[in-house]
Amino acid sequence: MEEDRSSKFSPSKLSVYQNCPRRYQYRYVDKISRQRKTPETVVGVAVHSTFEELYALVTGGKVPTLPELHEIYDSEFAAGWDATVVEKDVRFAIDDWKKVGRDCVELYYQGHHPFSSDRTVAIEKRVGFPIVVDGHEYRIEGFVDRLALAPDGAFEIVDYKTAKSLPNQEHADEDWQLALYELAVRREWPDTKEVRLKWHYVRHGKTLVSVRDEAARAKLLSDAGALISAIKHDHAFEPRPSPWCDWCEYRALCPLFADPIRVAALPPAERAKDGGVKLVASYAEIEDRRKRLKDELKAVEAEREKIEGDIAEWAEAAKVSVVAGERAQASVTIKDEMHLPTKTGEAEKLAELEAEVKPTPLWAEVARLDGHALLEGLKARRWSGELLALAESLVARYGRLAQKRTVRLKRRADDDDA
């Protein structure tokens, strides 16, 4: 059974879990190292190091010229680019990538020179704070690219982004990496009035700013606690497929992709003999047959329904309840039945009905426990505190663990029979 033993969580670590628990497991529980160097990461690291050096110089009283800064960038880029860089897009050469970072440095330099609009308090500063979750103390920690003091006395938590895409303001207001750092900064300097979260999208020369109020900070803390609690209670770390899978460094290990990757690498002759491939071919055949039979059954059911209606009509007209055939006879019963709204039928009407019955003693007589909702709620950690503990205890005492196997066939897009 997998178990997370971390005592420290960074915002990016929490994000990994939020996006895909299995990726989290590989990286932080199993500690499988698969860090891939890409042109983007080389540019990102070189730009960050250049700005680190820039502000170290500015804090020391020396403002470098743009050529000097480019020189710093060039040497950082050269140090980062080696044979391990995985280049996916052959349209771009090393010099194209180098230029991407150089342009970022230039754009930032032109927009902020002489770098006197604020005072740098710290560069690449480790910040963190303790957080108590389910009675245990953990730490949330991370590194702030630059912490600055603005002329109005506000702290500014500055992050540099070399991403190609420029997110909108809504995205910035929802980001919680810098917002978690804000909680740490406020603990370190308790008399802090205002903290601004600032992202410099240096490819675009654009800065996004977000300010969080007290309610947003309280919610953030509780969300982070809930996430840590979910990690600590997770023993399955289910894969969560998303468009990010295309970039996931664990694809070859992931149960969703490992076998397709293995089979794709097999020579055609071996592929046809492969055990899994043969089983899936048989399964696809059976599924086709099942579908044909299902369609046939559907047609038979429709025919049957029609004939039942005809017999009932005939019996009604003849004023009989048994219609005789040569080798069998058909009994006909006609009665009125009341139907109440259902979840799938008329959900809104059902909600109205429930709202009326709930406050009455009738509710205890007719309502039933929704076991599915209890299990799903527990899985999604929908509750906290006493309610969560109660749900856990009920499931532990009354639940029965059984293995359920589900197989679903997904046809490949190039399958002619699909």
Closest by CA to 171, choosing from 128, 201, 204, is 201
Binding residue count for ligand SF4, defined by CB under 6 A: 14
Nearer to ligand SF4, 149 or 245 (CB): 245
Binding mask 39-78 for ligand SF4 (x = CB under 6 A): ----------------------------------------
> Is the distance from CB of 145 to CB of 48 less than 8 angstroms?
yes
Question: Could you check whether the bond before residue 114 is cis, i.e. omega within 30 degrees of 0?
Answer: yes
Residue 85, beta-bridge partner list: 37
Nearer to ligand SF4, 29 or 248 (CB): 248
Check residue 256 for interaction with ligand SF4 (CB under 6 A).
yes
Q: Residue 66's CB: how many other CB atoms inside 10 A?
A: 13
Find the binding residues for ligand SF4 in span 213-252 (CB under 6 A). 239-241, 244-245, 248, 250-251
Nearer to ligand SF4, 130 or 241 (CB): 241
Residue showing tokens 């420290």: 8
Nearer to ligand SF4, 137 or 246 (CB): 246
Nearer to ligand SF4, 18 or 59 (CB): 18
Check residue 197 for interaction with ligand SF4 (CB under 6 A).
no
CA angle 199, 201, 202 (to 5 degrees): 125
**DSSP one-letter code for 209:** E
Residue showing tokens 């560069």: 123
Question: Could you check whether the bond before residue 255 is cis, i.e. omega within 30 degrees of 0?
Answer: no
Find the binding residues for ligand SF4 in span 326-345 (CB under 6 A). none
Pairing of the two strands 195-201 and 155-161 = parallel
3-state secondary structure of 402: coil
Pick from 23, 161, 198, 200 the residue near ligand SF4 by CB under 6 A. 23
3-state secondary structure of 90: coil
Pick from 257, 284, 311, 384 the residue near ligand SF4 by CB under 6 A. 257
3-state secondary structure of 102: helix
Q: How far is the CB of 408 from ligand SF4 (least distance, A)?
A: 16
Nearer to ligand SF4, 88 or 368 (CB): 88
Check residue 22 for interaction with ligand SF4 (CB under 6 A).
yes
Query: Which residues contact ligand SF4 (rule: CB under 6 A)?
Result: 20, 22-23, 239-241, 244-245, 248, 250-251, 254, 256-257
